[in-house]
């Protein structure tokens, strides 16, 4: 059978009724073809996975379904009615709800206001907001996701995972007929992921259609009834999940064979002296008495559940947040805690978890984002050496394999995975001594993930000390020399990377649940 099979459109004689159908959809941006003649059928009561590399057109397709973008050609038909192009309200009225990869919550509003924004409940003849009923409804929808948060707290003060769960609760409260999820588990713990999976299966049983977009292929095989693959904006295949295995799916996505995760060849080279030493670091409400060290050329994993304090530790080391106590030494010299500029000058670098808020300036160009950290070195004094910055950006784009029409396009026009490469790349214009990586492959496809792993290992071989935070245990196990485990803000154990297993890590992170992780948990 040819790789580019006949595209299935419309109702099959043996399958369920069509819910939403895209026919001949095309979309281009500034002459770059994002989608070309794509057909896709979503059936009632199925979980349909959409797979492809970063830049394959998945996010563009989602935005056309949601009415954010108007297609240049083609139609979207929802339950027998052709939707007007580029109209968000029409898509929402038809029952299409989207949970985007990056949280679309309003950070200054609380969870209740976010859930009911634009569709508030009123009392007293419509004159007053019925705040009590809104709070009760918000608590009910959040309870379905088994999340306990302060309903009055501004969402911007909550962890990324909780903000994402509020967005999910909003989509569910709309009683949608098609639920679209774009990398929904990228910031969730294994427990939260398992809860989400159970909920999606209940929705499927109720006849709701689910379009599931994820680079975590374990999740795709665990959930999906059918899988559609896009590559370079074009449809490649739609097949029942049972007819595919992981190597074949990867081949369809990238058009070539891609190896497994890179594995650290431990013991081949001696580690250097201690580069980073953290002693008694403490921040109220986040973590307590954290002490750790990193040697030159060493990769140390920091594992634990979402909310255990992993990101907070990294932020305090970097100077983004000020700890209440403790000290941080870089090459034996104390750092000024809470001073990120001095930390950067001393040789610290950090890839933050929330790339859109803390990693990039989205309206700026690819060139400006990649040169952001190195600009002082590229342009001594106040003179900006634009030519040197262009040369640096061109080299980094090639080194990282960033898919972009050019270095002058805004970073916000790139796919999520390519934005993630920019976040990492901006630090490569300087020579960091210590690299703090917080979810460095979040939302990155399998090919790009292999490239980033190769880069991390290459930096370690050059003597960079790395602290790696990841919710993907296979990533931690494959790359790290040592693994430190945080539980509720406390370091509870250290494991050797060469012999540790997922069960070992989870046993420390979840001491009350010493069971082997489920298939869904294994990919978290």
Is position 137 within any domain? no
Structure tokens of 341?
Answer: 């500029």
Contact predicate 370/393, CB 8 Å: yes
Is position 78 within any domain? yes
Contact predicate 402/423, CB 8 Å: no
Q: What is the CA radius of gyration of the chain?
A: 23
Is position 463 within any domain? no
Structure tokens of 498?
Answer: 């060469």
What pLDDT tens digit does each residue of the chain (524 aa) get?
333 343 444 333 334 688 999 999 999 886 678 899 999 999 999 999 999 877 788 989 999 999 999 999 999 999 999 999 999 999 989 999 888 766 666 788 888 888 888 777 777 766 778 888 888 888 888 888 777 788 888 887 877 777 878 887 887 787 789 999 888 887 777 777 888 888 889 889 989 999 999 888 889 999 999 999 998 899 999 999 999 998 899 888 877 555 444 566 655 457 899 999 999 999 998 999 999 999 999 999 999 877 789 999 999 999 999 999 999 999 999 999 999 989 999 999 999 887 777 788 888 999 999 988 887 655 554 455 677 888 889 999 998 888 888 899 999 888 777 888 898 888 888 889 999 999 898 767 777 788 889 889 989 999 999 999 988 888 899 999 999 999 889 999 999 998 998 888 888 887 554 344 444 444 43
3-state SS assignment for residue 99: strand
Is position 135 within any domain? no
Is position 71 within any domain? yes
pTM across the whole model? 0.62
DSSP 435: E
CATH of the domain at 232: 3.40.50.300
Torsion sign, CA atoms 183, 188, 194, 199? negative
For the residues of 46-112, what is the DSSP string, one character each?
Answer: -EEEEE--TTSSHHHHHHHHTTSS--SEEEEEETTEEPPTT-HHHHHHTTEEEE-SS----TTSBHH
For the residues of 385-419, what is the DSSP string, one character each?
Answer: -HHHHHHHHHHHHHHHT---S-TTSBGGGS-HHHH
3-state SS assignment for residue 33: strand
Is position 147 within any domain? no
C-alpha 377/C-alpha 246 separation (Å) is 44
Task: Specify which residues 351 forms β-bridges with.
Answer: 437
Contact predicate 28/181, CB 8 Å: no
Is position 241 within any domain? yes
C-alpha 465/C-alpha 463 separation (Å) is 6
Residue 181: count of CB within 10 angstroms of its CB: 25
Residue 342 CB contacts under 8 Å (≥ 6 apart), including other chains: 319, 335, 336
C-alpha 274/C-alpha 276 separation (Å) is 6
Structure tokens of 367?
Answer: 């060139």
Q: Which domain holds residue 6?
A: 1-95+178-258
Is position 481 within any domain? no
* Number of domains the chain is built from: 1
């Amino acid at each position: 059978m040819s790789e580019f099979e006949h595209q299935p459109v419309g109702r099959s004689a043996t399958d369920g009724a069509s819910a939403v159908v895209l026919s001949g959809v095309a979309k281009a941006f500034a002459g770059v073809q994002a989608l070309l003649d794509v057909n896709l059928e979503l059936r009632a009561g199925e979980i349909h996975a959409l797979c492809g590399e970063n830049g394959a057109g998945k996010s563009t397709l989602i935005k056309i379904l949601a009415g954010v973008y108007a297609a240049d050609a083609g139609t979207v038909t929802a339950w027998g009615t052709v939707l007007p192009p580029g109209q968000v309200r029409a898509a929402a009225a038809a029952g299409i709800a989207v949970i985007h990869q990056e949280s679309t919550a309003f950070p200054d509003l609380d969870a209740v206001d976010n859930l009911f924004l634009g569709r508030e409940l009123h009392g007293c003849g419509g004159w007053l907001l019925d705040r009590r009923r809104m709070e009760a409804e918000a608590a009910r929808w959040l309870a379905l996701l088994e999340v306990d948060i302060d309903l009055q707290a501004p969402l911007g003060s909550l962890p990324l995972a909780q903000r994402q769960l509020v967005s999910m609760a909003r989509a569910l409260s709309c009683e949608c007929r098609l639920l679209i999820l774009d990398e929904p588990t990228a910031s969730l713990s294994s427990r939260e992921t398992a809860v989400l999976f159970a909920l999606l299966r209940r929705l499927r049983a109720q006849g709701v259609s689910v379009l599931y977009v994820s680079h975590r292929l374990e999740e795709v095989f665990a959930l999906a009834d059918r899988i559609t693959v896009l590559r370079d904006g074009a449809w490649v295949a739609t097949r029942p999940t049972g007819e595919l295995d992981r190597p074949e799916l990867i081949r369809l996505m990238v058009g070539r064979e891609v190896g497994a995760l890179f594995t650290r060849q431990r013991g081949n080279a001696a580690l250097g002296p201690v580069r980073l030493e953290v002693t008694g670091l403490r921040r109220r409400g986040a973590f307590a008495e954290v002490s750790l060290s990193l040697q030159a050329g060493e990769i140390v994993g920091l594992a634990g559940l979402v909310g255990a304090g992993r990101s907070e530790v990294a932020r305090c080391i970097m100077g983004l947040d000020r700890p209440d106590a403790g000290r941080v030494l870089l090459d034996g010299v104390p750092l000024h805690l809470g001073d990120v500029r001095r930390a950067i000058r001393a040789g610290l670098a950090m890839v933050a978890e929330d790339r859109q808020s803390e990693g990039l300036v989205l309206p700026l160009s690819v060139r400006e984002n990649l040169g952001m950290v190195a600009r002082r070195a590229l342009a001594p004094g106040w003179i900006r050496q634009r030519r040197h910055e262009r040369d640096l950006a061109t080299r980094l784009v090639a080194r990282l394999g960033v898919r972009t029409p050019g270095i002058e396009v805004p970073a916000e026009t790139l796919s999520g995975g390519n934005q993630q490469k920019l976040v990492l790349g901006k630090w490569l214009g300087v020579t960091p001594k210590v690299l703090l990586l917080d979810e460095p492959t979040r939302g990155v496809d399998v090919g790009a993930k292999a490239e980033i792993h190769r880069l991390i290992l290459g930096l370690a071989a050059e003597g960079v000390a790395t602290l790696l935070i990841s919710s993907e245990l296979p990533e931690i196990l494959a790359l790290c020399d040592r693994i430190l485990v945080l539980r509720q803000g406390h370091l509870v154990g250290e494991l050797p990377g060469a012999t540790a297993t997922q069960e070992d890590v989870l046993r420390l992170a979840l001491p009350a649940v010493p069971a082997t992780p489920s298939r869904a948990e294994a990919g978290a």
